[in-house]
Chain A
Amino acid sequence: MRFYLRLALDGMKKNKQLYKPYLLTCIGMVMMFYILSSLSFSPAIRSMRSGDTVSLILILGTIVIGVFSLLFLAYTNSFLIRRRNKEFGLYNILGMNKWNISIIILLETLITALFTITAGVLLGILFSKLAELFLMRMSGAEVDYQIRISPVGILMAFIVFGAIFFLLLLVSLARVRLSNPLSLLKSEAAGEKPPKGNLLLALAGFVILAVAYYFSVSIETPLSALALFFAAVIMVIIATYLLFIAGSVVLCRILQKNKSYYYKASHFVSVSSMAFRMKRNGAGLASICILATMVLVMISSTGCLYFGSENALRGMQPYDMTATVFMDSGKYCTSESAETLRRIIFDKTQGKETNIAAYSYIETFGLLENGEIDIDGAEENTTNPSLLSQIRTIIMIPRADYEQLTGSRTELADDEILVWSSGKPYPFDKLTIEGLRTMKVRDRLSDPPVRVSTEDTIVTALIVVIPDWDVIVDELDKLDDELGSSFMVRQRIAFDLPGIDAEEDRRLMDSISDAGNEQIEKDPDCGWVFVRTESFLSTKNYYYDLNGSFFFLGIVLSIIFIAAAALIIYYKQLSEGYEDRARFAIMQKVGMTPGEIKSTINTQILTVFFAPLLFAGLHLCFAFPFVEKLIRLFGVSNRLVLILSSLACFLVFALFYIFVYRGTAHTYYNIVSTSERE
């Protein structure tokens, strides 16, 4: 047994060029996995205001890391085994049977698993506090500095990664069992067919990419962006693979046809070996490109969500606090009921409220077409992207409330209305709500009578001032039964509370809704169904918890993806280095100067390396309109912040990429420039 152990350890030591980065990646993945899983169950996180949501997001992240680790480690493991086939073949010929070799592999896997999981968990314990502090800070929660060790996290890390390594072991053993010694010895076969560029596939890739890009620049509303986003993502992925695998070879072939370009010392070797290189590496490079794009889109969008929330929150909660009473159908707000609500609030705030806006309203939504609102149609067609731009939220306000809010008198006949629309002005002369009579637009208001979100967020809002409120409420009530939808009349009082802090805000919110519920119990006939209070601060806290943890998760997953991309690149350089060594030795004999060899190598590595980055940048640019509209679904619309966060992400990523490039190019050049004679 000691003999096998020594062979296993020696094998890993001899291949340290392969194993060192592999072990590091394993440790990194275990560490990230432990951090996320321990945070998901951390009492500190649970005690946050939206702890349940945050921990759910983290659990999702943990699952993503687990699955990704399995796929990625399977890939690297198969690479390692392939590289070491020759060694195992030699053992076999020297008289070891497959059973003996299996023992060596078993020991190696065991050592790797124990070492990386233990190291990963230890580092995870060390860094999880840091991650926790980071996460809590980001969501603005209070922090403590007590270090916790999560038994659940440790257990999960050992179980999940133990299972992953067990699967890897099975794969490696199967590979050794299925091979014969001769094929083990003869690892890399010679006589590779020259790549034939498939023009059709290349064109298909180009067209698919163009269509996906077109989708992106042509979409108009956030909801249609949501509907098309996944289609576009899949198209971009397919197109990237096609372009990298087929398109690159076709490009090389076209360059080769151009004699005066091709037969130049600086292009000759690069272009021809590039064709071969792309044939072998197209898929790998496309994967790197996709990973990079995912990282960039993820970080820039979650970053924008996080940093851009402030504005959006004002859009969602234009007042510091609102109390809304939902009225029983058939009842509409009397001045008495409005007065009751007013008294409750005044009682609780003790007169601290300012900028008070009190009004009743009915809210519904429908498809707007030629001045007609189709309520049924809207409910049926919410998933039809082509109709999404016609959806309107309609807020109806009685004339009396409008006059009180604005302090102005209005001249409105019974069939006349005032209309305000977010975004573009209302384009029609009349408005017909399904089943009701047609109303003429007397005037288009330039400002909304109450503060509403002026951002063009998800759907366009219409505010309609109605002269004969009682009639409309009755008519809508009848519609209720026909359409099966509910037009609840709501009584709302919105107000600002200058200088309020989070704690007082929370207390006030609770006490107002408590008082409202008391009122309902005391006087069941008042027509109140329930009272809802919302406040700017509570919404803000919720969103910071949510967006903060999304951003956090984005960063953690990005680190993993980047590490994976770096390792793929490193292994590529390594295996290519060995293959190219003989080639460059020949070129040197034929009269290529070391300088020329170096510059050829540089051209090739640069292209192979930076093509994915370049494409990722392009994808990011074209994803921009999509992302911009998608984050509007979260209420954030801030182009500048998104541009800045995308730019910052790209720069940081490119820097990191260059860093990896320099490290691996060095390894590659070392391999290529040492002669084979040693």
Chain B
Amino acid sequence: MSILEVKDLKKVYTSRFGTQKVEALRCVNFSVERGEYVAVMGESGSGKTTLLNLLAALDKPTAGQVLLDGVDTSTLPEKNIASFRRDQLGFVFQEFNLLDTFTLEDNIYLPLVLAGMNYAEMEKRLKPLAEELGIAELLKKYPYEVSGGQKQRAAAARALITEPKLLLADEPTGALDSRSTDELLSLFAEVNRKGQTIVMVTHSVKAASHATRVLFIRDGEVYHQLYRGNDSNEQLYQKISDTLTVLTTGGEIA
């Protein structure tokens, strides 16, 4: 069974007095299998972020369903949504979203503390994860003391420490330099190889070329998708570029 199923998803934003309606998502359908690494691509305004917000249950769809592991997130009662998000999903954001009042270590612990886990257990989980992400030396530092790449790795650790069913990433490389970008992308590939399901929203071709599948969104619909198959990153990169060229020049894909 798919871990994530999106069925006929529609989102319409209405201005305050209902005079103007903006259709952000028209009709989105796709599903993600366990262990997949899916990149969602599209230009600004294509509905990427709206889609991610709906997947994360941060927003309610106008119509359609988001099924995570068979559960329709839009039917969850308000008070359960937060704990659902905490237990089932991990987030990595473009702006890191680390709390500046916490050390990196405490930032990573945050979801576990909220879940009520005891300290010994948390420590046991953090150790290998920190090693893997290369931030074991930085745990006692505050966010303002480390580089962007290090912050993003800490944010990734925070997302992964709950062992989520699905890791959602919103432009995770958007604020990073090229070296940090490479490091983060290979990291994502690595955790995906170990079985972590990832959905990443991006408009970076390079980021998308690390995924196993790439979805293209235009005007609120899934317009096209590419499977990696046996392609290398470079080959996939080329295919994505070609697709984007066609998309932006407004042509149809054969």
Residues in A lying within 8 Å of B, measured CB to CB: 190-194, 259-260, 263-265, 268-269, 272-273, 275-276, 583, 586-596
- Of the 9-residue stretches B109-117, B177-185, B207-215, B224-232, which lies at the interface with chain A? B109-117
Residues in chain B near residue A592, CB distance under 8 A: 82, 86, 114
What are 28 A-B pairs at a CB distance below 8 A? A190-B100, A192-B144, A194-B101, A194-B103, A263-B109, A263-B118, A265-B113, A268-B109, A268-B113, A272-B102, A272-B106, A583-B100, A586-B97, A587-B110, A589-B58, A589-B97, A590-B86, A590-B110, A590-B114, A590-B158, A591-B86, A591-B89, A591-B111, A591-B114, A592-B114, A594-B79, A595-B79, A596-B114
Contact B83 A590 (CB under 8 A): no
With A191-B144, A265-B114, A265-B116 known to touch, is A593 a contact of B79 (CB < 8 Å)? yes
Name the contact of A264 in the complex, choosing from B82, B91, B98, B113 (C-beta under 8 A).
B113
Contact B82 A594 (CB under 8 A): yes
Kindly state whether residue B119 has any CB partner on chain A within 8 Å. Answer: yes
Residues in chain B near residue A269, CB distance under 8 A: 110
Shortest CB-to-CB span from A596 to chain B, Å, is 7
Q: 4 shortest A-B CB distances, which residue pairs?
A: A591-B86, A593-B82, A191-B144, A586-B97
Residues in chain A near residue B89, CB distance under 8 A: 591
Shortest CB-to-CB span from A38 to chain B, Å, is 50
Kindly state whether residue B7 has any CB partner on chain A within 8 Å. Answer: no
- Cα-based distance from A165 to B97 in the complex (angstroms): 43
Shortest CB-to-CB span from B38 to chain A, Å, is 20
The B127-150 residues at the A interface (CB cut-off 8 A) are 142, 144
Residues in chain A near residue B100, CB distance under 8 A: 190-192, 583
Residues in chain A near residue B113, CB distance under 8 A: 263-265, 268
Shortest CB-to-CB span from A255 to chain B, Å, is 13
Shortest CB-to-CB span from A321 to chain B, Å, is 72
Kindly state whether residue B99 has any CB partner on chain A within 8 Å. Answer: yes
Residues in chain A near residue B144, CB distance under 8 A: 190-193
Shortest CB-to-CB span from A678 to chain B, Å, is 11
Kindly state whether residue B85 has any CB partner on chain A within 8 Å. Answer: yes
Contact A586 B99 (CB under 8 A): yes
Name the contact of B119 in the complex, choosing from A192, A194, A260, A590 (C-beta under 8 A).
A260
- Cα-based distance from A594 to B80 in the complex (angstroms): 10
- In this complex, what residue of A is CB-closest to B116? A265
Contact B91 A589 (CB under 8 A): yes
The B43-98 residues at the A interface (CB cut-off 8 A) are 56, 58, 78-79, 81-83, 85-87, 89, 91, 93, 97-98
Contact A273 B101 (CB under 8 A): yes
Contact B101 A589 (CB under 8 A): no
Residues in chain B near residue A590, CB distance under 8 A: 86, 91, 97, 110-111, 114, 158
Shortest CB-to-CB span from B116 to chain A, Å, is 6
Contact B101 A593 (CB under 8 A): no
Contact A588 B106 (CB under 8 A): no
Shortest CB-to-CB span from B58 to chain A, Å, is 7
Shortest CB-to-CB span from A392 to chain B, Å, is 63
- Cα-based distance from A269 to B158 in the complex (angstroms): 15
Contact B119 A263 (CB under 8 A): yes
Interface residues of B: mostly helix, strand, loop or mixed?
Answer: helix
- Cα-based distance from A194 to B87 in the complex (angstroms): 30
Residues in chain B near residue A273, CB distance under 8 A: 101
- In this complex, what residue of A is CB-closest to B141? A194
Shortest CB-to-CB span from B136 to chain A, Å, is 18
- Cα-based distance from A405 to B125 in the complex (angstroms): 94
Kindly state whether residue B27 has any CB partner on chain A within 8 Å. Answer: no
- Cα-based distance from A190 to B100 in the complex (angstroms): 9
Residues in chain A near residue B111, CB distance under 8 A: 590-591
Residues in chain A near residue B83, CB distance under 8 A: 591, 593
- In this complex, what residue of B is CB-closest to A591? B86
Residues in chain B near residue A591, CB distance under 8 A: 82-83, 85-87, 89, 111, 114-115
Q: How many residues of B are in contact with the other chain, CB < 8 A?
A: 34
- Cα-based distance from A595 to B101 in the complex (angstroms): 21
Residues in chain B near residue A264, CB distance under 8 A: 113, 116
- Cα-based distance from A592 to B111 in the complex (angstroms): 8
- In this complex, what residue of A is CB-closest to B168? A589
Kindly state whether residue B247 has any CB partner on chain A within 8 Å. Answer: no
With A260-B119, A263-B109 known to touch, is A194 a contact of B82 (CB < 8 Å)? no
Residues in chain B near residue A586, CB distance under 8 A: 97-99
Kindly state whether residue B122 has any CB partner on chain A within 8 Å. Answer: yes
- Cα-based distance from A428 to B178 in the complex (angstroms): 95
- In this complex, what residue of B is CB-closest to A675? B58
- In this complex, what residue of A is CB-closest to B93? A589
- Cα-based distance from A171 to B110 in the complex (angstroms): 44
Contact B91 A268 (CB under 8 A): no
- Cα-based distance from A273 to B99 in the complex (angstroms): 9
Residues in chain B near residue A595, CB distance under 8 A: 79
B83, B113, B118, B158: most-surrounded residue (chain A CB, <10 A): B113
- Cα-based distance from A586 to B91 in the complex (angstroms): 10
Name the contact of B106 in the complex, choosing from A268, A583, A589, A594 (C-beta under 8 A).
A268
Shortest CB-to-CB span from A78 to chain B, Å, is 25
Contact B142 A194 (CB under 8 A): yes
- Cα-based distance from A265 to B103 in the complex (angstroms): 16
Shortest CB-to-CB span from A249 to chain B, Å, is 12
Shortest CB-to-CB span from B134 to chain A, Å, is 22
16 additional A-B pairs beyond A260-B118, A589-B58, beta carbons within 8 Å, are A194-B101, A260-B119, A263-B118, A263-B119, A264-B116, A265-B115, A272-B99, A272-B106, A587-B99, A589-B85, A590-B111, A590-B114, A591-B83, A592-B114, A593-B82, A596-B114
- Cα-based distance from A269 to B113 in the complex (angstroms): 9
Shortest CB-to-CB span from B147 to chain A, Å, is 13
Residues in chain A near residue B87, CB distance under 8 A: 591
Residues in chain B near residue A193, CB distance under 8 A: 144
Shortest CB-to-CB span from A265 to chain B, Å, is 5
- In this complex, what residue of A is CB-closest to B78? A594
Please, what's the 1-or-0 string for B145-179, where 1 marks a CB less than 8 Å from any CB in chain A?
Answer: 00000000000001000000000000000000000
Shortest CB-to-CB span from B176 to chain A, Å, is 18
Contact B109 A275 (CB under 8 A): no
Residues in chain B near residue A194, CB distance under 8 A: 101, 103, 142
Residues in chain A near residue B109, CB distance under 8 A: 263, 268
A193, A273, A589: most-surrounded residue (chain B CB, <10 A): A589
Shortest CB-to-CB span from A522 to chain B, Å, is 89
Residues in chain B near residue A268, CB distance under 8 A: 106, 109-110, 113-114
- In this complex, what residue of A is CB-closest to B143? A191
Shortest CB-to-CB span from A266 to chain B, Å, is 10
Shortest CB-to-CB span from A581 to chain B, Å, is 13
- Cα-based distance from A276 to B101 in the complex (angstroms): 7
Shortest CB-to-CB span from A61 to chain B, Å, is 44
Shortest CB-to-CB span from B35 to chain A, Å, is 23
- Cα-based distance from A390 to B93 in the complex (angstroms): 76
Shortest CB-to-CB span from A595 to chain B, Å, is 7
Residues in chain A near residue B97, CB distance under 8 A: 586, 589-590
Contact B122 A263 (CB under 8 A): yes
Shortest CB-to-CB span from B218 to chain A, Å, is 23
Residues in chain B near residue A587, CB distance under 8 A: 99, 110
A583, A591, A594, A596: most-surrounded residue (chain B CB, <10 A): A591
Residues in chain B near residue A191, CB distance under 8 A: 100, 144
Residues in chain A near residue B119, CB distance under 8 A: 259-260, 263
Residues in chain A near residue B99, CB distance under 8 A: 272, 583, 586-587
Shortest CB-to-CB span from A161 to chain B, Å, is 41
- Cα-based distance from A194 to B82 in the complex (angstroms): 29
Residues in chain A near residue B114, CB distance under 8 A: 265, 268, 590-592, 596
Shortest CB-to-CB span from A342 to chain B, Å, is 84
- Cα-based distance from A263 to B121 in the complex (angstroms): 11
